[in-house]
Amino acid sequence: MNNTRHINIVTRLRPPITNEVNDDGVRVTREGDRHFISVNNPRDLTQVFKYPFSSCYDQDSTQQEIFDNEVEPMTEDVYAGLTVTIFAYGVTSSGKTHTMQGTKSDPGIIPRAVESLFQRKRKQANVTLAISYMEIYKDEVYDLLIDRENAPKLPVRENGAGQVFVANLSSQVVDRVEEFHQIYSEATLRRSVASTNLNRASSRSHAILTITVTISDPTLGKALSGKLNLVDLAGSENNKLTGNDPSRMAESSAINKSLSVLGQVVHALNQGASRIPYRNSKLTRILQDALGGSSVGLLICNIAPAPKYRQDTLNTLNFATRTRNIENKPVINEKDLKPAPKPPMSRRLPQAPARRPSEVPSGLTSRIARPSLTHGPSRSSLPSSTIHSEPVTVNVNIPPQNPPPAPGLTEEEIDARIAKAVETEVARRLAEHEKQKAIETESRVSLEEGPSNSSQKSPVVEDPSSHIGHMSVDEDLRQRLAELEQKFETGNSELRMVSDLSPASRKRTGRAYVALARAQSEKNNLALALELYRKAEAYVPDNVKLKERIIEIEWAVKNGKPFKPSPKKPRKKKTKKTAAAEKSRATGSESVLQDSRDENNAPPVFGSSLLVGSTTASFKRQAEGSEIWETPKRRYKKIRASIEQEDDDE
């Protein structure tokens, strides 16, 4: 079998529909053994375009003829363990769905292919057939084997071997042809279909039916897994002809976009581009294996004969001409059913209990597997064989590193963890604050009771300042050093926590601390509020307003005064009349200044009611002292200066 195969191209011209104009502008011609699709140029009827293809079927062709000549030989490839993809392409109302599905009296490719696969199954043992059916509607994937009301949007994933699959797509094993027809007919009713001016049952989505054939060989311990993908693509639409309403136009836009990306992929493959835009659409992502991959491909181009479809017919034939140049490299899908061999007894060494990184010596570090940063693949995408690795001990000096972030967390989970950590920290600090207040109250009571008790025992009156000297200077210094060390360690841990977070997470954490601090300041717990504001500052150090709030609360705590937040200045809304008046005043002032320069040949004099300057700097100097040019940084300096002035006065 040749390792490289081109995508086979088949063209089919449908017969004209009742009341449809037919000018014989599209026809199948033969010159010896060669077949052509001849199309009259819609702009110059004297010019004829000829497209040579290996298989061209005219209006008199039958479903049985196309299946026997083109599809039946490909079922052998499925039983050989290959992936076969057959998809119908063409403009809307060109007969794609009829070619793929057909009718009860004249079945199409899908029911005939299934019957052929079951006929081969009867001749072989240990063969299993399973089907899955999905549609791509508005670039979202839905499972057609499930009721549409309960069908969720399915994500498209890629396993470790680079194979693309649809996650959580259901699959059903079928044992008889009748069972398949029942399941398929019910699933087809769930497909998105609507009526347009060109087609009373127009497909509004791309449908993909996958039949998986598994052939097991217990004696050899192997299994072949062949696939047959039958794709019914939605047709490209011209909204001027279809008469679509807004909802139909949204569907048409999604269809045309996915087909456009399909054309871009084919063009990139022909050009040998370094990047193929498979990911630009769910359709091309799923069909990636059939377009330059490891699948055997067959493209059936359906053509409509009417003159109104002439330009779309030329586009379809040009697409088919580019597609036949694509080369695929089919690969046999073989699985090993034998269990993985167990390692010898000498390698089955007991593993030591896991230790924390802090407990592992720096000189002798055991090799520990790195946790995955993403969710593992689904069970269907796991490799069949298992690789056993031997435990290795390496003597390397590895510097301590921060623990990696939690694997696979969403933004909501991160926010929830941050909020929970902040609440726990606030509860702990509240408990410490209450405990400190209780200690201070007890010490105050003991200081008050101390002199009274001593006065009863002795008439000697002691100086109250003598009670302060109970603690020696060394103990006082030791306590101060311990407090500073604790504060330094807390700050370092906070900085380490901040450095591990992303900028967005830092901002969210800072906002959470600010909200908690604001709540405590409203309860007049200024000390705790100040501590929370400082915590928030570690996460958003460049926030000028936050620094101003910290300065205001520090001043209130230091002077024992209630905290009153500075009111926000109301923003004046500019109306059109106000803007026009300001513009006219500015124009008038400039004319007055120009007249004064001409008459007196001297610089202008600024009045108290008019602030005009030759430069922006002079305007800032004139506006100095007012709040027009007061920036947050200047306001911050002003508050700091006022607080220092009050401290000096006291």
**Is the CB of residue 131 less than 8 Å from the CB of residue 183?**
yes
Instruction: Answer with the residue of higher pLDDT: 194 or 35.
Output: 35
The answer to whether 93 is annotated as binding is yes
pLDDT at 64 over 80: yes
Long-range contacts of 609-615 (CB under 8 A, 24+ apart): 612/586
Q: How confident is the model at residue 535 (pLDDT cuts 50, 70, 90)?
A: confident
Long-range contacts of 544-550 (CB under 8 A, 24+ apart): 544/632, 544/633, 544/635, 544/636, 545/632, 546/510, 546/514, 547/636, 548/632, 548/635, 548/636, 548/639
The answer to whether 308 is annotated as binding is no
The answer to whether 62 is annotated as binding is no
* Residues making up the chain, counted from first to last: 650
How far is it, in rounded angstroms, from Cα 642 to Cα 566?
14
How far is it, in rounded angstroms, from Cα 303 to Cα 58?
10
Give the pLDDT confidence score for residue 568 in this predicted structure: 60
Give the pLDDT confidence score for residue 619 in this predicted structure: 44
Please write the tens of the pLDDT for every residue from 316-373. Answer: 999 999 999 999 999 998 888 776 666 555 454 555 454 444 444 444 333 334 333 3
Q: Which residues pair with 231 in a beta bridge?
A: 87, 208
Long-range contacts of 490-498 (CB under 8 A, 24+ apart): 491/538, 494/535, 494/538, 495/538, 496/402, 498/538, 498/539
Give the pLDDT confidence score for residue 296 in this predicted structure: 93
pLDDT at 527 over 50: yes
User: What angle is formed at CA 559 by the lines to CA 554 and CA 560, rounded to 5 degrees?
Assistant: 95
Mean pLDDT of the chain: 75
Give the pLDDT confidence score for residue 85 in this predicted structure: 95
pLDDT at 579 over 50: yes
pLDDT at 446 over 80: no
Q: Give the residue-averaged pLDDT of 146-165.
A: 86
Q: How confident is the model at residue 584 (pLDDT cuts 50, 70, 90)?
A: low
Q: How many CB atoms lie within 10 A of CB 639?
A: 17
Give the pLDDT confidence score for residue 133 in this predicted structure: 95
Helix 310-323 / helix 246-271 crossing angle, nearest 10 deg: 40
How far is it, in rounded angstroms, from Cα 9 to Cα 347?
56
The answer to whether 92 is annotated as binding is yes
The answer to whether 410 is annotated as binding is no
Token pair recorded at residue 366: 């055991």
Give the pLDDT confidence score for residue 388 in this predicted structure: 39
Please write the tens of the pLDDT for every residue from 428-444. Answer: 877 887 888 788 777 77
3-state secondary structure of 648: helix
**Is the CB of residue 213 less than 8 Å from the CB of residue 128?**
yes
Neighbouring C-alpha atoms within 13 Å toward the C-beta of 16: 14
Give the β-pairing of 222-232 and 83-89.
Answer: parallel
Q: How many CB atoms lie within 10 A of CB 629?
A: 14
How far is it, in rounded angstroms, from Cα 454 to Cα 449?
9
Please write the tens of the pLDDT for every residue from 381-420. Answer: 333 333 333 444 334 444 444 444 444 566 667 777 777 7
How far is it, in rounded angstroms, from Cα 328 to Cα 7?
7
What DSSP element (H or E) covers 591? Answer: helix 576-600
Please write the tens of the pLDDT for every residue from 608-646. Answer: 333 344 444 444 444 444 444 556 667 767 777 777 776
Give the pLDDT confidence score for residue 526 in this predicted structure: 84
How far is it, in rounded angstroms, from Cα 282 to Cα 287?
9
How far is it, in rounded angstroms, from Cα 85 to Cα 210?
9
The answer to whether 21 is annotated as binding is no
DSSP conformation class of 324: T
End-to-end CA distance of the chain: 98
Highest mean pLDDT pick, 224-228, 356-360, 594-598: 224-228
How far is it, in rounded angstroms, from Cα 461 to Cα 209?
102
3-state secondary structure 452-480: HHHHHHCCCCCCHHHHHHHCCHHHHHHHH
Q: Give the residue-averaged pLDDT of 133-143.
A: 92
Cα of 297 vs its chain's centroid, Å: 31
Q: Can you spell out the DSSP letters for 17-72?
A: PTT----S-EEEEEETTEEEEEEE-SS-TT-EEEEEESEEE-TT--HHHHIIIIIH
> What percent of the chain stands above pLDDT 90?
28
Give the pLDDT confidence score for residue 83 in this predicted structure: 93
Please write the tens of the pLDDT for every residue from 245-260. Answer: 777 788 888 888 999 9
Instruction: Answer with the residue of higher pLDDT: 25 or 608.
Output: 25
Cα of 198 vs its chain's centroid, Å: 37
